[in-house]
Amino acid sequence: MPGTFHHRQEQLRRAAEQQLKDRLLPPWQKRVLQRLSVEAANGWYPLLNQFAPRTPAQRPDAVLVGPQGVLVVLLRETEPDWTDSRAAFVWVSELLAGATIGPAMLSEAVVRAVVVHPMGHTGHLGEDEEHTAITEDQLDPVLRNGERLLSADEARSVAEHLDSRTFDLAPMMWSARRIPLPRGQDAETAELFDPHEQRLRSALQRPFRDWRIFLDGTQLGAVRRSYSGPARITGPAGTGKSVIALHRLAYLARRTTGKLLFTSHQSTVPSVAAQQFRQLAPHLGNRVEFVHLHAWARDFLAGRGRLAEVDDREVEAAFESVWQRAELSAPLRGFRNSRGYWKDEVDRVIKGRAIRSFEAYRSVPRKGRGRPLPPDFRSHVWQFYCEYERELSERGVFDHNDVLMRALAELERRPLPRQYAAVVVDEVQDLTLAGLRLAHEISGDAPDQLLLVGDGQQQVYAGGWRLSEAGIELAGRGEILRCNYRNRTAVLDRAGQVEAINRFDDLDGGPSVPLDAALPQLPGGRVVEWHGTDQESALLEALRGLDDDSATAVLTSTNASAEHWENVLRSAGVPARPLDRWDGRTTGPVLVGTLFRAKGTEFRNVFLPGEPDTASAFREDREAQLRRRLVAMTRARDYLWIGAPHG
């Protein structure tokens, strides 16, 4: 019937006017609240603070729950203190902590604070770290624009959850049912939303977004838990470790002052994480530094007036010069004729552990390095290392390990003038021991200062260590995740067949969960294992046959192979882009890069072309190849193509 909707709005406005008539609110505040009440006709559920107009400074005057999430509304004549708007946000977030949807819980990513001023306010307007400031005539964009975060049923359930958690807030213009909780069960565990299956269907309809809105109970617990010292999150691929790290950064940023740091060994991991964090908590983007550890060390040293730039070509030339000296390399070749193996020995064992003397190297454990080196033979390795150091010195250069060790020494000499509020280290298993010590020195051991995130099955670099060697004691602090939310069942089952041996003791002797023991949450999926002679044509045909080719990647073992496949795609008219130039945004071109660069990423479709057989007779090499293959496979959500050319 024409006019029915507007008639309903007028009814709501008049009812709100009647409800508010006995409250001694300023006229402009009554206008705003009446305006908010009308939104009940548009899928919003307004709740009014029962203390208004004497609302405490650190509480909201109203809360709205609707399509664009949860709005924490403060009605203020003047700009509020930032601590007040932050406290109001935190208060509502704490009330939402138990809102569940099947096995998942609502995250505070749906919450934002809005400060409403009277018309004509001349102070600061717009968005800042703590809230969005508007005048009363600017409500429409806030209520209409922006991404839809909650369905109608979800919004209703969230509003009812808030009503059930506190008597400070009461519904305006809608009828809440205060849900009785079973005896012995509090609102933290009450289930108010849809069944599990509906939650999963919803997640599949909203790809690469739902992780911001919902977490399962274990994940949310890790986000909100207070740890008395360094803590860790571990679990197989796809269980949400990095997602938790981002949510925890946002959670801590809302409850602390100062900067926070997200770092990792790989340069691509922080850049992708930064983009995801901007989606999760756009107002907090300036609070968190996203930088890989070597870049942090370089910038830190430069800030202290010390040179820290690494010339990779000169470093490689220095190593090659020493390797070509037969008197130095012959003993090493006789033991194992592999230049890469001995480069890893220098980078990951000697310098990676910041070993300063031959006596220390003689007895150092070489976890994950395969066949033991007799103590007497190690003198040959040490001589080779010393000549490499001399070559670097003569060329006037230093390598990445030198940068880490110099930064560590400088920090020990003169600590940071202001400590980070928290430090998150992602893909921690790929750090060297020296890198881990630096991260520990940056963070310290105070409560909630250091969070280590990693999975030993996804280690892609040589070597290994124990956390205790870096002076880090976990004392049981942390979480082990088991539910896989990234990979569809077919992809997860195939990746679980890869026997990736854990060479990273992230729990210092504690249990770990292999990928084949992860609990799949997303049904379906497709895995294609191709065998034949013309792999290029087969891969292109499969790529063109995809129903949806967005978020697609071709992953390889080497840079040379990545360059080859990028050329193949472009020659065939398929837009392609190097993975190492991707910052995590959704992109049209197919991304091509090494599995090393793929750490911390996920894609709808992944292609793993077969490469020349590099099978090694050495067990540790085979184990490393399997771990890397597992990493590549678990980047795929819906579709995995595995090539095996022959002939």
Q: Is 239 annotated as a binding residue?
A: yes
Instruction: Please write the tens of the pLDDT for every residue from 520-555.
Output: 888 999 999 999 999 999 999 999 999 888 889 999
pLDDT for res 11: 72
Q: Is 238 annotated as a binding residue?
A: yes
Full-model pTM: 0.87
Cα of 640 vs its chain's centroid, Å: 23
Query: Is 225-305+418-485's fold the same as 525-645's?
Result: yes
pLDDT for res 507: 46
Quickly state the pLDDT bin for 38 (edges 50, 70, 90): confident
- Higher-confidence residue: 467 or 104? 467
pLDDT for res 440: 96
Instruction: Please write the tens of the pLDDT for every residue from 373-394.
Output: 988 899 999 999 999 999 999 9
Q: Using alpha carbons, list the distances in angstroms from residue 298 to 191, 412, 424.
A: 49, 16, 18
59-68, 202-211, 228-237 — which is least confidently predicted? 202-211
pLDDT for res 333: 94
Q: Is 30 annotated as a binding residue?
A: no
Helix (H, G, I), strand (E, B) or coil at 451: strand
pLDDT for res 617: 64
- The percentage of residues in the chain with a pLDDT greater than 90, rounded to a whole number, is 56
Asked if 105 and 216 count as a contact pair (C-beta separation under 8 A), the reply is yes
Q: Please state the rounded mean pLDDT for residues 38-53.
A: 87
Average pLDDT, the chain: 86
Question: Cis omega (within 30 of 0) on the bond before 53?
Answer: yes
Tell me which H or E stretch contains 395: helix 378-395
β pairing state of 111-117 and 104-106:
unpaired
CA-to-CA distance for 156 and 43, rounded, in angstroms?
8
pLDDT for res 188: 37
Instruction: Please write the tens of the pLDDT for every residue from 130-179.
Output: 899 999 999 999 998 888 888 888 899 899 999 999 889 988 877 765 44
Instruction: Please write the tens of the pLDDT for every residue from 279-333.
Output: 899 889 899 999 999 999 999 999 999 988 999 999 999 999 999 999 999 999 9
Strand order in the sheet with 231-234: 288-290, 260-264, 422-426, 450-454, 231-234, 478-480
Q: Please state the rounded mean pLDDT for residues 358-365.
A: 92
Quickly state the pLDDT bin for 569 (edges 50, 70, 90): very high
Q: Is 235 annotated as a binding residue?
A: yes
Q: Please state the rounded mean pLDDT for residues 241-259.
A: 94
pLDDT for res 106: 87
Q: Is 237 annotated as a binding residue?
A: yes
293-302, 458-467, 511-520, 610-619 — which is least confidently predicted? 610-619
pLDDT for res 197: 47
Does the structural domain 225-305+418-485 have CATH classification 3.40.50.800?
A: no
pLDDT for res 616: 63
5-14, 40-49, 104-113, 259-268 — which is least confidently predicted? 5-14
Quickly state the pLDDT bin for 191 (edges 50, 70, 90): very low
CA-to-CA distance for 218 and 484, rounded, in angstroms?
12
Q: Please state the rounded mean pLDDT for residues 177-192.
A: 39
- Using a 10 angstrom Cβ sphere, with 0-12 exposed, 13-18 middle and 19 or more buried, the burial of residue 119 is exposed
pLDDT for res 433: 93
CA neighbours closer than 13 Å in the CB half-sphere of residue 612: 3
pLDDT for res 199: 46
Q: Is 343 annotated as a binding residue?
A: no
- Higher-confidence residue: 487 or 214? 487
β pairing state of 422-426 and 111-117:
unpaired
Q: Is 241 annotated as a binding residue?
A: yes
Instruction: Kindly tell me if the per-residue pLDDT of 513 is higher than 80.
Output: no
CATH T-level fold of 525-645: Rossmann fold (3.40.50)
pLDDT for res 189: 32
pLDDT for res 198: 47
216-225, 353-362, 410-419, 455-464 — which is least confidently predicted? 455-464
Per-domain residue ranges of the chain: 4-196, 225-305+418-485, 312-397, 525-645
CA-to-CA distance for 281 and 269, rounded, in angstroms?
18
Sequence-ordered list of residues with C-beta below 8 angstroms from that of 614, at least 6 positions apart, any chain: 557, 625
pLDDT for res 62: 93
pLDDT for res 228: 94
CA-to-CA distance for 646 and 533, rounded, in angstroms?
5
Quickly state the pLDDT bin for 34 (edges 50, 70, 90): confident
Asked if 261 and 366 count as a contact pair (C-beta separation under 8 A), the reply is no
